[in-house]
């Protein structure tokens, strides 16, 4: 997926386009309803992506970057049409944010009970109680191992390959600690209280039946053997109704914003280089 790289990329891209606005030769301004993306823009977008991610963007990624640039310009022009003034690149981006907020403004939608129950029944996994984990963990202390805990945990993991978790000698590979070696039917919240949130988040993604890690905690690293992951009972609709309603409202808000942007976008003609014709949103 390219979504996360695009998020990181946008600030760097905005800076370059701001500089470019002052350095490119002065030309006759395009019509107010035209948005022009040039070959220079494509090269700048591709070059910045290369710097940021160490590779050239794929054609699909480049089209997404162009679409993002077009979207920002549409929102900026809509904000300017509402009477706001353009000052610099930071103001431009703020104008775009204001226009987007304006597009989705309005009272929160109120779903019917039938709509909420339909959403709940269509995606029960989205509201399920997290699985409870039964596990064995071995702790490797950064302090006791002079900062080499992670490396030594990796060595121990390799040595444990194929070893039965019930082997008494297994426990000798870790360091003494206040952490219990074996934990049964632990929820993610309970694991977070013991080991910290990063450990809990990682543990819930580990496969059952093999030594995994190292997994970080506040004072070191852990090897973890998940013996069982017991799914929680399906939650009753009444117990998760607020979460279901929040999910429904978010989906409705997203749809409203997409519709509002589509209406604004329809007021503009986008002119693209021949290599990207037909790719605008």
Q: Report, as an integer, the average pLDDT of 216-232.
A: 90
Q: How high is the mean pLDDT of the chain? A: 80
pTM of full prediction above 0.75 = no
DSSP letter for each residue of 219-262: SEEEEEEEEEEEPPPPPPGGGGHHHHHHHHHHHHHHHHHHHHHH
The answer to whether 18 and 72 are in contact (CB under 8 A) is no
Band of the pLDDT at 219, cuts 50, 70, 90?
Answer: confident
Residue 27 has pLDDT above 70, yes or no: no
Higher pLDDT, 16 or 265: 265
Rounded-to-integer distance, Cα 140 and Cα 137, Å: 10
Least confident residue range of 3-12, 143-152, 158-167: 3-12
pLDDT tens across 79-120, in order? 777 666 655 566 666 666 666 665 555 556 689 999 999 998
Band of the pLDDT at 124, cuts 50, 70, 90?
Answer: confident
Rounded-to-integer distance, Cα 66 and Cα 51, Å: 17
Phi first, then psi: give them for residue 269, nearest 5 degrees.
-105, 125
| Helix (H/G/I), strand (E/B), else coil: 190 | helix
pLDDT tens across 197-218, in order? 999 999 999 999 999 999 999 8
Q: Show the domains of the chain with their CATH numbers.
A: 3-108+254-276 (no CATH), 130-230 (3.10.50.40)
């Amino acid at each position: 997926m390219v979504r996360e790289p695009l998020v990181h990329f946008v600030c760097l891209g905005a800076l370059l386009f701001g500089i470019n606005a002052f350095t490119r030769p002065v030309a006759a301004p395009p019509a107010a309803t035209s948005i022009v993306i040039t070959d220079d823009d494509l090269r700048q977008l591709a070059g910045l992506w290369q710097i940021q991610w160490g590779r050239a963007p794929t054609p699909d990624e480049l089209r997404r970057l162009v679409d993002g640039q077009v979207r920002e310009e549409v929102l900026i022009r809509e904000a300017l049409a509402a009477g706001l003034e353009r000052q610099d690149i930071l103001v431009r981006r703020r104008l775009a944010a204001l226009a987007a907020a304006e597009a989705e403004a309005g009272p929160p939608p109120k779903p019917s009970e039938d709509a909420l129950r339909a959403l709940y029944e269509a995606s029960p996994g989205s509201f399920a109680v997290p699985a409870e984990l039964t596990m064995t963990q071995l702790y490797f202390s950064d302090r006791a191992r002079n900062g080499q805990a992670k490396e030594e945990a990796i060595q121990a993991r390799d040595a444990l390959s194929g070893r039965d978790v019930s082997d008494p000698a297994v426990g000798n590979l870790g360091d003494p600690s206040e952490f219990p070696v074996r934990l049964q039917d632990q929820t993610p919240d309970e694991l977070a209280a013991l080991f910290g949130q990063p450990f809990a988040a990682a543990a819930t993604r580990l496969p059952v039946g093999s030594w995994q890690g190292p997994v970080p905690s506040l004072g070191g690293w852990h090897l973890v053997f998940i013996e069982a992951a017991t799914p929680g009972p399906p939650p009753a609709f009444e117990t998760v109704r607020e979460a279901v309603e929040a999910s429904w409202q978010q989906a409705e808000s997203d749809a409203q914003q997409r519709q509002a942007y589509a209406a604004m976008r329809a007021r503009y003609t986008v002119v693209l280089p021949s290599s990207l014709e037909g790719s605008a949103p």
